[in-house]
Chains A and B, each alone.
Chain A
Amino acid sequence: MTLPQDLDLARTGGSRTIRRAAALCLVLLVALLVNAARVQVFQADRLGDNAANRRPVLARYAEPRGNILVAGEPVTASKDTGQLLRYERTYTDGPLYAPVTGYASQTYGTTLVENAEDGILSGTSPLLAPLPFWNDISRTRQPGGNVVTTIEPALQQAAYRGLAGRRGAVVAVEPSTGRVLALVSSPSYDPGVLSGTGSEVATAWARLNAAPAKPMLNRAIRETYPPGSTFKIVTAAAALDSGVVRDVDAPTGTPDPYLLPGTRTALPNEATGCRDASLAYAIRWSCNTVMADLGVKVGLAGMVDAVRRFGFNDPGLRIPSGVARSNFDTDMTLDQLALSAIGQYDTAATPLQMAMVSAAVANGGELAQPHLVESTTSAAGGVVDRTARRAYAQAMKASTAAQLRKLMVGVVEGGSGRNARIEGAEVGGKTGTAQHGVGNQGTPYAWFIGWARARDAARPAVAVAVVVEDTSARREDISGGGSAAPIARSVMEAALAAEGRGWPPSRSPERDG
């Protein structure tokens, strides 16, 4: 070996091989960088959307959720648990407002306003972002905003107290604006018990789901009931609008009992004096025969057309929580049509739907879109969106509405709805009882729909629908008047008292004007 080591190394290409080995390391580095870009940029969205990825959920609960406000006061709050899913929802007066708020649970998701306004409450809504597409670009969320509801606590409490734990629901709306003033379902539950994770929440969930009274069922907007005689207001509106009845006091020539068309089945009346009765008499005393006959005379097409303007058969109604579709069949034989015209057969309505019927009458035939959210605000309180008053439909002619108002006042003044009378106010109403179950063995539903106007006010302050599952009910109209009407009266009294009391600070112009 004569060569010095370094020369030898140089001759066998030491530098060249080192450079090649370095190039190999460079290749490895480039592979890492390309792979990092692949995972972090190109596949990021797909990985982020993977159902098993808990990061979106963690981010969602990392900040306190925005609040739901009733009369300016939050009925919700957030509690820092220090857990992985950090902020849990708490509710003040949980059972009272549960049909409005729904629940926001780490385990079971969200319902009702918590669900419908989740974007605002959790801070992901683009409305909260300072710039368009800001949230997408910066991959952040804003602090959760607030949802201001239209609920009036006095009405809500009156309705809740009135039901006193019995199965049923109450909906009150402001006829001129469609603002939902009360939304009560009974029995209720505390949505706070579903917040968070763990066995307690799972136990509460199982208990609530297994309870025979179904406390988590929102009977006000998610359950439909046979509307019974309260539906006669709709039939009357259809009859008047279509010209089948021109004079409410004129005899209708209806026999009693009334044979259902094409059958030998006789439709009976609970009330007396219904033979050849006028529409006014039929509404006041709830004659089945007269109203069934009028429904047949209007005809299927006319009835379907009329009910649609009130909101029946609309699967897309939102307040913004989704409302169950109220049903009036569109394909029936005449005897079925006759039964449907008195709220039987397949006719089914949510309490909200029947409150809309009452509100349409109270508001001169024009039905405002019902809504539960007045406005949404940022966390700092700045309004980001306000629900504008929108017309739902012209449910009937103004003249028809005026005639029906008179008839409904008659029901309360001297008919089956006397329990809803309020001193110093004009109150219109309609009672109803719906049999159900096999052979009508189920506990009947007692209904009352109505509206109330202060004597000095330009227009009615409130329209209300009450349904109670009433064990004491026997006779059709006595039931609605007996158990549902007093609840409606206390809600309407609360509405009349709240009117002009000054909250919210700026009522909608329709009301002030």
Chain B
Amino acid sequence: MTATTPDPPPPPRVRLPRRRGVELSLLLCAVVFSVYGYADVGLAHSGAVPPDVAGYGAGLGLLALLAHLAVRVRAPYADPLLLPIAVLLNGLGLVLIYRLDLETPADRAAPTQLVWSAVGVALFAVVVVCLHDHRLLQRYAYVSVAAALALLSAPIFFPAVNGAKIWIRIGGLSFQPGEFAKVLLAVFFAAYLAANRTALAHTGRRMWGLRLPAGRVLGPIVAIWLLSVGVLILERDLGTSLLFFGLFVILLYVATGRTGWIAVGMVLAGIGAFVVGSLEPHVNGRVEDWLHPFASIEAGRGPGQLAQSLFAFAAGGMFGVGLGLGHSTLIGFAAKSDFILATAGEELGLVGLTAIFLLYALLVGRGYRSGLALRDAFGRLLAIGLASILALQVFVIAGGVMGLIPLTGMAMPFLAQGGSSVVTNWIIVALLIRLSDSARAPAPPPDTLGIDTLTTPLPQREEAR
């Protein structure tokens, strides 16, 4: 049905709020806040504002402005909170990494991180500008999953770094393909579940009071999930496998509305975690660390990383010791990546940490809100999936470094050092912007979407539209 409606009825003149001015003011706040933090670190460290503070401010401001313009032109109805929160978290991460660089002058990470952030923002702009309808992605579900699996398995052919085979090194560059795979897998899960939702919910046999879906419907997705988790376990990337599992269960639940899935997921996760935790030595060590963070002290080998992390959080107390005044070096080599939250906890205190958690919560909440407001199943599931990725990731890494759950090497979104991570997170935010724009925009005439012209590779896709 490609027919155009020659004379559309005038739409009701309800002026929908765009809130781009709000977004711009919040962006300004985010940049000012980051620049203030940057200056504060310099003051604490050497008693002087860093000479390049203006450059840093201008750079961050320029990135923010670029992103804002892209949103203003191409996604005018997008949620005004998403971009400022991302800029603030990214800016704060840069400040923390810059601050940690001062302790390790031989190993500066902030300039690289700034470059990667710029790349991330550029990709953000590209996604916002070029992807004018998120439903386009639905078409590439199988391409996505193929790419995700390829990316995930690639590091097997590269040497392990710090016990985990999750990096690809080419020349001086290294990146973590698992990061990109997250988004691709979310796209696939959303597309597949959107297409097979009805079959999953209404067919299959009853067993123990639970209706099991037909194997031919559930089979492929379980296979994909098992495959990715299997690869990750091979690579000892426990965090990402946990993340994929959580993502899978949440989307399955949202798509089918079956609480049973949550229960099944929990049970499976419990069994899997127990088996892996007790058999795999690398993971087993992490679990032991979590249960007995001070065991190495009692054994006379000094505090381990988790103990140092807990010491750092404790030193921060309620209000923190102040930016640049903590002793993050004690935490060791992962201070800029896995354990960057410990620096935040030590120097900004419980108050600062709560603020950071609330920023993430707002980001996630806004993602969920877009999901609620969207009218198509794929969009809903994709928004929920992307928001859940952020939520699960924050929980897993923050819970890990604070002794709530066993530690799994993962990057705190936007805060931690890591090019792949920051680029991926900017893409996630770009997709959420796109989704929120669709959710908040006035309903466009159906033909402009061009949805009906799409040929779908999904076998279960309804043809009846």
Interface residues of A (CB under 8 A from B): 1-2, 5-6, 8-9, 12-22, 24-26, 28-29, 31-33, 35-37, 39-41, 43-48, 50-55, 58, 84, 139
Contact = CB atoms under 8 A, between A and B. Distances in A.
A21 to B, nearest CB: 5
B388 A25 contact: yes
Contacts of A9: 197, 377, 380
Contact of A40 (B250, B318, B388): B318
B232 to A, nearest CB: 21
A51 B302 CA distance: 10
Contacts of A32: 357, 394-395, 398-399, 402, 404
B377 to A, nearest CB: 5
Q: Sort chain B's interface into a size bin.
A: 35 or more
Contact of B464 (A1, A31, A35): A1
Mostly helix, strand, loop or mixed at chain A's interface? Answer: helix
Nearest to A37: B350
Contact of A33 (B314, B317, B354, B391): B354
Please provide the 8 A-B residue pairs with the shortest distance between their CB atoms, ordered closest to farther: A47-B314, A13-B257, A52-B297, A44-B314, A28-B395, A25-B391, A40-B350, A35-B404
B112 interface: no
B254 A21 contact: yes
12 contacts: A9-B377, A14-B257, A16-B257, A22-B365, A24-B250, A32-B399, A33-B354, A35-B404, A36-B398, A39-B310, A54-B327, A54-B330
A21 B377 contact: no
Given A5-B377, A14-B257, A21-B254, A50 B294 contact: yes
Given A35-B402, A37-B350, A21 B388 contact: yes
Nearest to A43: B314
A36 B198 contact: no
A53 B311 contact: yes
A45 to B, nearest CB: 8
Nearest to A34: B404
A32 to B, nearest CB: 5
Contacts of B197: 8-9, 12
Interface of B: 194, 197-198, 201, 250, 253-257, 294, 297, 302-303, 307, 310-318, 321, 327, 329-330, 345, 349-350, 353-354, 357, 360-361, 364-365, 368, 371-372, 375-377, 380, 384, 387-388, 391-392, 394-395, 398-399, 402-404, 462, 464
Given A18-B371, A33-B354, 8 more contacts: A9-B380, A18-B384, A24-B250, A28-B391, A31-B404, A32-B394, A47-B311, A52-B297
A39 B314 contact: yes
Contacts of A29: 357, 360-361, 391, 395
B391 A2 contact: no
B174 to A, nearest CB: 29
A9 to B, nearest CB: 5
Contacts of A21: 250, 253-254, 368, 384, 388
Nearest to A22: B368
Nearest to B403: A39
A33 B375 contact: no
Contacts of B312: 55
B361 A55 contact: no
